[in-house]
Each structure stands twice: as structure tokens, then as C-alpha cells.
Amino acid sequence: MEQIGHFINGELVAGTSGRTADVFNPATGEVIAQVALADKSEMDAAVAVAAAAQPAWAALNPQKRARVMMKMVTLLHRDMDKLAEALSREHGKTLPDAAGDVIRGLEVVEYCIGAPEMLKGEYTDGAGPGIDMYSMKQALGVCAGITPFNFPAMIPMWMFAPAIVCGNAFILKPSERDPSVPMMLAALMEEAGLPKGIMQVVNGDKEAVDAIIADETIQSIGFVGSTPIAQYIYAGGCAAGKRVQCFGGAKNHAIIMPDADMDNVVDALIGASFGAAGERCMALSVAVPVGKDTADRLIEALIPRVESLKIGPYTGGNDVDFGPVVTQMAKDKINGLVQSGVDQGAELAVDGRGFSLQGYEDGFFVGASLFDNVTTDMDIYKQEIFGPVLCTVRADTYADAIKLTMDNEYGNGTAIFTRDGDTARDFANRINVGMVGVNVPIPVPLAYHTFGGWKKSAFGDLNQHGPDAFKFYTRTKTVTSRWPSGAREGANFSIPTMD
Ligand code: NAD
């Protein structure tokens, strides 16, 4: 059985805590590896290595740090197939989707090549007589990141690339469900020229996370995962005086106006609701058709498309639309929620619960389900299902549809489908959601913009990647310097002004 340890000080090392977690191939249900779960002493050791290595890395000129990112881009392209295969094997998503996971991370690595520009400070020449003032953006020191299972390449890269290029050392605590790709990424960073100890991977669970929160050397925590854990880490990290950003769960609504192009809407919903088996924080999980006629047309068009979705293992080639969910526990939770929807009175237009794939009976496959007439008091509406289930909540008017979306506790992504620019513009302006699509189902911003939700989908002030990442991973120091010429003025006991 493969044993996955940690990546410490440039080396693969075995865990010493004696605790491990099983890593599954979700397509077959087999245990394919065991991953070490670090205890506090292992985390402490990694932090000590990071703290020792970081000052020299921060002292290197930003161009040289950026060159590591340039090389990393090349290596990611070189190893794309290998990374995608390892990712699919532990996560279950299709190979093209796994390559997309790597590419959306790679794009942030590319963006980080611009670090010398992003890290330029500010300078005021002659702020007063003989006085100059300048601001520097300096690294924080040792930073930590805690990532979810659903994007094991992209989200680690969204964190470690900006953190490291800013001059920090970074400790990644990836999901224990699919740890192989994060370990491969750390090895690639070293191959790209990163000094030992600047990027480390410490595998683990709550114990490792608690060690990060309690550690006094770690200056910042980036977290992506479910909302309860996001709140726990945000509260603990802030109380410990760290800089913290935590991104949580989602319930993304798609509003379908009566004038929308229904063929486009159905294509968009099929991909965005069922792609990656719905295990995306930007999945569209709630369809909100406006008006009875729109809703009837939508459901009629969706049913045959949902029924004909092709589900299979990542080895199934291009014919597979989506793969299994990540664990048996996730499968049971999804099926349980579908049953709760039936019990609570929603109309199950397509029932995916009985799905089984010949030869893969032990895999964690869940068929696609479509609900109609869902109401806001039902568990399938209130909870994040994180599976291949699309809920339809019918709205009488645009005003009802926008209110529904705004009243939802989550605010990660949303989309409106319409041909009317006025409605689209009003929606984009008024909606209290962080990422908005207009006829775009998954509006994940590109690397040079920022990614982040509102409400219970994000805790903290700054978003991920884009310019916000350079703010999150640096702190500002402002120097006021005076080189007096001529007579000295003596002591001044009032607050200095530049008059
Ligand atoms: P999760 O919250 O179970 O785990 C995320 C991380 O937290 C993992 O590294 C895990 O080891 C750790 N963790 C789990 N339980 C913990 C505990 N009790 N104490 C401390 N740490 C703990 O999330 P997941 O199932 O891996 O990922 C799916 C979730 O992530 C969904 O809710 C999804 O919406 C969300 N997500 C959000 C975004 C975003 O940008 N907002 C992006 C991707 C995923």
C-alpha cells in the first residue's frame, strides 16, 4: 500500500504521529494509499524549517523569485497529463476537468510572474523640508494554507504562488482525501528553483489545523472549504492575531428570465450543475425560472438532458460527463438529501439515486437528480448538497427571483440568463453575491481579477488571487526620512505636520 508522508525541507518524509487516513479511488471504492496525519510536533518542525529559510528568500530580488514562477509554468505544462491522472485517480473527476483544475491554478502562477511590478512601493519625494516618505510591501514571514478536496491543484496554487513570490515561506495543509497532487506541486516548485523549506506540505486533519492556528510563528492562514470550518478557523486565527481569509460553501442561484435563450440556458445548467458531479463551490445548484411558462419549458427541456448524462470513471475517455463523488460518506449524504426532498414535498423529476455502473459497483457513483417545485423551507434548498442535484425554485416575478437570491445565506456565485441588458445590469448592480455571471453559468474570475464570495461564503477582507493576493501576503511599512541641511530646529513636542 502506498504511504504518503509529508514534504519537509525539500524531502519526502514519513509521518511520525502513527495516525493515517485512507485515500480512495472513488471510481472503484478501493483504498489506494494511506496518508499520514501530522501531529503538533510535526507541524512545529515544519514551521521551524520555514522560519529559518524565509529571510534569505525574502531578501532575494523579486525578479529572481518571479523566475521560479516562470519555470513552474513550464514544468506544469510538461507534467500536465501526469498531474491530471493523479488528480482524477484520487478525486474522481474526468481527465479534461482535472487538467482544467491544473490550468486554473497555473494561470495564477503566470500572474505571479508580474510580482516585481505588483510589489513596487510608493515614494513621495519632498514630503516636507528635506523629508522623503516611502512605503514598502514586505513579506509576512511564514504563511499557511488549508485546502479542500475539490480542487487539489488549483486552490493550493492560488495560495502558494502569490505567498511565495511575495517572499514568504508557505506551509500547505491539503485535504486528506486527495493529497498526491499537492505533494507533486511542492516537488515541482523545488525543481523550478525554489530553495528548500520555502514550500512544505504537511498532511493532516483537524489536529494539524489546530496546530497551525495555535502556532505563534505562522503569520497568516488562507482557508478554502465548508462554511462551518471556515468560521472555526477564521475565529481561531483572528483571535490568535493572524491575518486570515476563509472561503466557505455556496448555494448558487441561476435566474432564468422569460426572454432567455432556452437552448443556451439548458446547456449552461447541465454543465454547471452536474460537471464534476456538482462538487464545485461555483456549481449552479438552484435554478430560478421566472414565470410558469419559463419554468415549464425549462423542466421539459432539462429532463431528457439530465437523464442522458453519462457517468463513469475517469478512465472512460471523452464519453464521460462526470465521475463519482469523493467518498461513500458524500454519496450517502447526497442520497439522504434527495430522499429528504421527496419527503418534504419537492417533485423529483429525475431520480439519480439508483444509479449503478457495471464493473464499478463499489465506486462512489451518484446519478443526476432534478427537482422541481422546491421551496425555501426544504433541506435540499437550505443545505449545500455538493452533488449532482439541481433544485428548481419557481419564481413568479423578477423581483421574487432576486429577493430569493439575496435572502440566501450564501453569496459565492450567481448567474442571470436574459436577452435584456437593462435587467442584466440591474441584477449585476443590486445582487449581494461576490461573483456574477450574465449568460455565463460559472463566472470564476480570471487570475488578474479576484475571486471571493459574500455573506457566509467568505470571511475576511481580501479575495483570492489578483491584486488582493499581493495585499494579503504582504504588509506595508512606511518610512519617513529626513536629511536636514542647515540649522537644526531643536525639539518639537507637538505631532509633526508638514506645514
Ligand atoms: P472541508 O471543510 O471538509 O475541508 C476543508 C479543509 O479543512 C481540509 O483541509 C480538511 O482537512 C480541513 N478540516 C476538515 N474538518 C476540519 C475540522 N473539524 N477542523 C479543522 N479543519 C478541518 O471541505 P471539503 O469537503 O474538503 O470541500 C468542500 C467544501 O469546500 C464545500 O463546502 C465547498 O463549497 C467549499 N469550497 C469553497 C470554495 C470557495 O472558494 N468558496 C472553493 C472550493 C470549495
At 192-233, the pLDDT tens digits run: 999 999 999 999 999 999 999 999 999 999 999 999 999 999
C-alpha 202/C-alpha 145 separation (Å) is 10
Per-residue model confidence as pLDDT tens digits over 59-85: 999 999 999 999 999 999 999 999 999
Q: Cα of 350 to ligand 1 centre, how many Å?
A: 29
pLDDT (tens digit, 9 = 90+) per residue, 118-162? Answer: 999 999 999 999 999 999 999 999 999 999 999 999 999 999 999
Catalytic residue list contains 391 = no
Question: How many CB atoms are located within 10 Å of the residue 80 CB?
Answer: 15
Helix (H, G, I), strand (E, B) or coil at 366: coil
Contact call for residues 162 and 114 (beta carbons, < 8 A): no
Burial group, residue 422, by CB count within 10 angstroms (0-12, 13-18, 19+): exposed
Q: List the residue whose alpha carbon is closest to atom 30 of ligand 1.
A: 225
**pLDDT tens by residue, 398-419:** 999 999 999 999 999 999 999 9
Task: Give 210: exposed, middle or buried? Use CB within 10 Å, 0-12, 13-18, 19+.
Answer: middle
pLDDT of residue 105: 98
Helices (H) then strands (E): counts for the chain: 16, 23
Asked whether 206 lines ligand 1 (CB < 6 A), one says yes
Nearest alpha carbon, ligand 1 atom 6: 148
Strand partners, 77: none
Tens digits of per-residue pLDDT, 352-383? Answer: 999 999 999 999 999 999 999 999 999 999 99
Q: How confident is the model at residue 467 (pLDDT cuts 50, 70, 90)?
A: very high
Distance (Å, whole) CA 111 – CA 7: 25
Query: 7 near 181, Cβ under 8 Å?
Result: no
**Options 112, 166, 246, 281, the catalytic residue:** 281
Residue 14 pLDDT level (bands cut at 50, 70, 90): very high
Tell me the C-alpha distance between 499 and 496, whole Å: 9
State whether the beta carbon of 412 lies less than 6 angstroms from ligand 1: yes
Report the distance separating Cα 315 and Cα 15, nearest Å. 31
Phi, psi of 125 (to 5 degrees): -85, 120
* Ligand 1, pocket-test mutation among 226, 247, 435, most atoms within 8 A of CB: 226
Nearest atom in ligand 1 to 386's CA: 31
User: If residue 434 lies in a helix (H) or strand (E), which one and from where to where?
Assistant: none
Probe ligand 1: pick from 150, 203, 210, max atoms within 8 Å of CB? 150
Provide the pLDDT confidence category of residue 424 given band limits of 50, 70 and 90.
very high
Compute CA distances 131 → 123, 124, 137, 457, 477, whole Å. Answer: 11, 9, 20, 45, 17
Asked if residue 384 has its Cβ within 6 Å of ligand 1, the reply is: yes
What is the longest distance spanned by two Cα atoms in the chain? 91
Whether 176 lines ligand 1, by a CB cut-off of 6 Å, is yes
Q: 429 C-alpha to center of ligand 1: Å?
A: 30
Band of residue 319 on the pLDDT scale cut at 50, 70, 90: confident
Residues in the chain: 499
Q: How far apart are CA 85 and CA 99, in angstroms?
A: 9
Of 205, 221, 280, 285, the residue with max ligand 1 atoms within 8 A of its CB, to mutate for a pocket test, comes to 205
User: Which residues lie below 8 Å from residue 203, measured CB to CB, with a gap of 6+?
Assistant: 4, 5, 6, 15, 35, 36, 37, 38, 173, 174, 176, 179
Record the pTM: 0.97
Ligand 1 near 20 CB (within 6 A)? no
pLDDT of residue 492: 81
Best mutation site among 22, 251, 281, 442 for ligand 1 pocket (most ligand atoms within 8 Å of CB)? 281
Residue located nearest, by CA, to atom 26 of ligand 1: 148
C-alpha 147 – ligand 1 centre gap (Å): 7
pLDDT band at residue 180, thresholds of 50, 70 and 90?
very high
Band (pLDDT 50/70/90 cuts) for residue 493 is: confident
Which of these, 287, 251, 292, 249, lies nearest to 269 by C-alpha position?
287
The x, y and z cell numbers of residue 439, run together, are: 449568460
Name the amino acid, one letter, at 375: T
| pLDDT tens-digit map of 30-65 | 999 999 999 999 999 999 999 999 999 999 999 999
Cβ of 249 closer than 6 Å to ligand 1, yes or no, is: yes
Pocket test for ligand 1, best of 173, 224, 234 (most atoms within 8 A of CB): 224
Q: Give 153 Cα–ligand 1 centroid separation in angstroms.
A: 14
Integer distance in angstroms from the first to the last C-alpha of the chain?
73
Interior angle at CA 181, CA 452 and CA 447, nearest 5:
30
- The answer on pLDDT for 484 being more than 80 is no
Look at residue 497 in the predicted model and tell me its pLDDT: 82
How far, in Å, CA of 176 to CA of 229, rounded? 15
Q: What is the mean pLDDT of residues 310-332?
A: 95
Backbone region of residue 293 per phi and psi (left: phi > 0; alpha: psi in -120 to 50; beta: other values): alpha
What confidence tens digit (pLDDT) does each residue in 432-442 have?
999 999 999 99
Per-residue pLDDT, 494: 86
Cα(226) to centroid(ligand 1), Å = 4
Nearest-atom index, ligand 1, CA of 204: 11
Is the confidence at residue 486, as pLDDT, over 80?
no
Q: Provide the β-strand partners of residue 289.
A: 256
For ligand 1, atom 35, which residue shows the shortest CA distance?
A: 225
- Measured between alpha carbons, how far is 180 from 135 in angstroms, rounded to an integer? 40
Per-residue model confidence (pLDDT) at position 488: 66
Specify the DSSP element, H or E, that contains 207: helix 206-214
Query: For residues 274 and 486, which has the higher predicted lDDT (pLDDT)?
Result: 274
Ligand 1 pocket member 150 (CB < 6 A): yes
Section 372-399 average pLDDT: 98
Report the candidate in 148, 186, 171 with the shortest Cα–Cα distance to residue 219.
Answer: 171
Is there an atom of ligand 1 within 6 Å of 453 CB? yes
Atom 20 in ligand 1: residue holding the nearest Cα: 206
Task: Give the model confidence (pLDDT) of 164-173 as tens digits.
Answer: 999 999 999 9
* Ligand 1 close to Cβ of residue 457 (< 6 A): yes
C-alpha cell at 345: 414535498
Query: According to DSSP H, which parts of 321-465 are helical?
Result: 328-343, 379-382, 398-407, 421-430
- C-beta of 64 in contact with ligand 1 (< 6 A): no
Ligand 1 and 148: CB distance under 6 A = yes
Which atom, in ligand 1's list, is nearest to the CA of 146?
Answer: 9
Residue 2 CA to ligand 1 center (angstroms) comes to 24
Mean predicted lDDT score pLDDT of the chain: 97
Which domains does the chain carry?
2-248+457-479 (3.40.605.10), 252-438 (3.40.309.10)
